[in-house]
């Protein structure tokens, strides 16, 4: 297993508090999936593994990357502004998807799911672009990180992004 990976992810509950038990569950699942399989190489750092502490400052996501022993490795800030539209649209299509599961034909569900996956890929690609020069991630890690970012904003985004 490579040393360039995340082994822990912690969330600042003061700035990124979950909006309820469902949001908390989504976060736990997203973190589990990300820890289970990821490639996370901090630019200019010879090796990991890393711990990641996420917080929000002035509507920007702060990535505080630490060594396995807890020493500071690198801190970078990711503006959420470029993601606002994609996240909003992603939540809207997810709501349509869950509604379709209850009421639509399999063909309609498949079409909505393809759109949902397309938006997820778009968000993942944007995230990978925004991480250039900070962290190298593979596509699967970018997808899992985007899932976590969406999970962090569940409940908050629906009211704040519009």
35-65 confidence digits (pLDDT tens): 999 999 999 887 889 999 999 999 899 999 9
Please check whether residue 151 is in contact with residue 34, taking contact to mean a CB–CB distance below 8 angstroms: no
95-141 confidence digits (pLDDT tens): 998 899 999 999 999 999 999 999 999 999 999 999 999 999 999 99
pLDDT in the model for residue 157: 40
Give all strands (DSSP E) within the chain, no chain letters: 6-11, 40-42, 50-57, 60-67, 72-79, 135-137
74-99 confidence digits (pLDDT tens): 999 999 999 999 999 999 998 998 89
């Amino acid at each position: 297993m490579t040393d360039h990976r995340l082994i822990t992810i912690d969330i600042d509950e003061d700035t990124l508090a979950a909006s309820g038990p469902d949001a908390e569950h989504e976060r736990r699942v997203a973190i589990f999936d990300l820890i289970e399989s990821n490639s996370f190489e901090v630019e200019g750092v010879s090796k990991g593994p890393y711990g990641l502490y996420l917080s929000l400052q002035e509507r920007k996501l702060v990535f505080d990357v630490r060594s396995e022993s807890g020493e500071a490795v690198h801190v970078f800030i990711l503006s959420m502004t470029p993601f606002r539209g994609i996240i909003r649209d992603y939540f809207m299509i997810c709501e349509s998807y869950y509604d379709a599961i209850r009421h639509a034909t399999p063909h309609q569900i498949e079409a909505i799911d393809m759109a949902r996956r397309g938006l997820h890929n778009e968000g993942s690609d944007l995230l990978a672009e925004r991480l250039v020069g900070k962290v190298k991630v593979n596509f699967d890690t970018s997808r899992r990180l985007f899932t976590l970012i969406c999970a962090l904003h569940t409940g908050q985004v629906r009211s704040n992004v519009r």
